[in-house]
Structure 1
């Protein structure tokens, strides 16, 4: 039996599954029940291309939110319409990502050994070959073995490769249709890669499943497998491996993976599993023990430097790497 924290029901709260989510002010987007796309605003703090840089998100009412926990997974009750947070615009190299271990999970540039991370240009590709991001309210549990891959999750939200024609912006929140999924095995962890398309893309109306991608965008899926296979090789690492011999699974399979990752996220937010260093601070899921007030969220953000500083403002190495099969 599920055990939830006692909650006061007010006119400003609504129950969604096991959660109670704060109802937004009149006129604002209501999340999963809203008929129109929620409007999210970005706020940059710190110097871009520096370790201090953080990109926070606000909702339509101007309140700080967590893109990991406070943006609804689904749009309305439609089976195949999801919110996606764009982390990396197509053709860019900076490895931007949701900071899962920081309060309110702003987007930052990943760093290793004190050095900002960029993906290499592997001929013929410049940077990332899709708009790359994540589905909110999903979590790949590192302690739970996936029945399809026999490997545990990678401790992140599910990654999304958006294959539409428009170059999107870091921090943008869009509605996507899921088309299929690829199972990357990275250091013995399952790292699912969803294939999706922006619903507002001109080609969205003719893409409904993974076979449609093969038909209307020939070579794109093969390029995607090769990109993920080789992208760490310039760093001196071995080629990545895949479950299912690198074959893409269809939409129905992908939706089941999303459903499972959403259930893992629910357990995480209700403290029913070991989240390790994951920061679950949120302002919308009031049934979660990690819930905070809007005032507390503002204080968390204001504690992050907003000044433009003289920290390293390095650019990506534009060397081209030529790798074979």
Structure 2
């Protein structure tokens, strides 16, 4: 199963969108239509890459937009970029999400004591290759970190591309600790401090910032898949989320989107144009003493 992308609008502007389609050119939602599992028997998951390693633009699946394209997050009318909080340059992994998952804001997690953040579950892919925005890769899950972001549970799955040369040696979170010393500590540090330049406090973590192992991570992902299924079957109120899809819902569902409707969504967006320059401020470094 392979997926293609189509750029619309101007990169580095508010108009930019990255739409997804299958190998036959049928438009689809990366949130709803790409299967969670790439190989269920082997617990291999699909990951949609939103942010390539070392970049700063806060790109994400637009959960409230038709067909859920990838676009850049906006705050107070401005495009969002994560700061370079010394010694970290941009995102320190390929960052993205597992499709067909949803962290339910109405469900309080027994372990964290907090409700979900209303997004698909996040993934940090730690292999050697720098991916491209919109890549759909197959990943092996290694563990998970439970970040508490402004009172919400925001799981961060640690995974590796199954095609990465290092994948054969990494099978659980303990292998990451052994073979990539300092990487897990850097990951906690990154998530703890990345919002401080925006004037926000440091993020907190459940389990005292300790990573849970592969089995725990897989069960967490499967739980968020259950929440997503409840969302698509209308057992849960979608709120502002856009659940239109071209592959999952039956014709009598309000979420069913025909191929013509999907094409009209893309055709109605801005034509692809030249990229605007990234602000020079994005390359600056932010320094502050750790608490």
Secondary structure of 1:277's partner? coil
Secondary structure of 1:180's partner? strand
Deviation, structure 1 residue 296: 1.1
Once the two structures are superposed, the pairs formed by residues 191-230 of structure 1 within 5 Å of their partners are: 191-230=154-193
The superposition leaves residues 51-70 of structure 1 with CA deviations (integer Å, 9 ceiling, x where unpaired) of: 00000011011110100000
Separation of aligned partners in 2, 1:39 and 1:129: 26
Separation of aligned partners in 2, 1:193 and 1:244: 13
The yes-or-no answer on 1:286 pairing with 2:252 is: no
Separation of aligned partners in 1, 2:40 and 2:123: 20
Q: Is the 8 A contact 1:270 1:289 kept in 2?
A: no
Query: Cα RMSD between the aligned structures?
Result: 1.2
Q: 1:207 to 1:307 in 2, by over 3 A?
A: closer
Partner residue in 1 for 2:139: 176
Secondary structure of 2:216's partner? helix
Partner residue in 1 for 2:264: 299
Bigger drift between 119-128 and 85-94 goes to: 119-128
The yes-or-no answer on 1:48 pairing with 2:11 is: yes
Q: Is the 8 A contact 1:271 1:289 kept in 2?
A: no
The yes-or-no answer on 1:115 pairing with 2:93 is: no
Deviation, structure 1 residue 142: 0.5
The yes-or-no answer on 1:84 pairing with 2:39 is: no
Separation of aligned partners in 2, 1:285 and 1:263: 15
Partner residue in 1 for 2:286: 321
The superposition leaves residues 189-243 of structure 1 with CA deviations (integer Å, 9 ceiling, x where unpaired) of: 0000000000001100010000000011010000000000000001111000000
Deviation, structure 1 residue 39: 1.4
Separation of aligned partners in 2, 1:247 and 1:309: 44
Deviation, structure 1 residue 313: 4.5
The yes-or-no answer on 1:262 pairing with 2:262 is: no
Separation of aligned partners in 1, 2:263 and 2:23: 15
Q: Is the 8 A contact 1:282 1:292 kept in 2?
A: yes
Q: Which structure has the larger Rg over C-alpha atoms? A: 1
Separation of aligned partners in 2, 1:189 and 1:254: 18
Separation of aligned partners in 2, 1:223 and 1:323: 16
Q: Is the 8 A contact 2:232 2:249 kept in 1?
A: no
The yes-or-no answer on 1:125 pairing with 2:107 is: no
Secondary structure of 1:185's partner? strand
The yes-or-no answer on 1:253 pairing with 2:197 is: no
Deviation, structure 1 residue 309: 7.0
Deviation, structure 1 residue 307: 4.3
The number of aligned residues is 287
TM-score (normalizing by structure 1): 0.86
Runs (4 or more) in structure 1 with deviation over 6 Å come to: none
Bigger drift between 301-310 and 222-231 goes to: 301-310
TM-score (normalizing by structure 2): 0.96
Deviation, structure 1 residue 161: 0.2
Deviation, structure 1 residue 78: 2.1
Q: Is the 8 A contact 1:179 1:207 kept in 2?
A: yes
Task: Identify unmatched segments of 5+ residues in structure 2.
Answer: none
Task: Identify unmatched segments of 5+ residues in structure 1.
Answer: 1-37
Deviation, structure 1 residue 282: 0.2
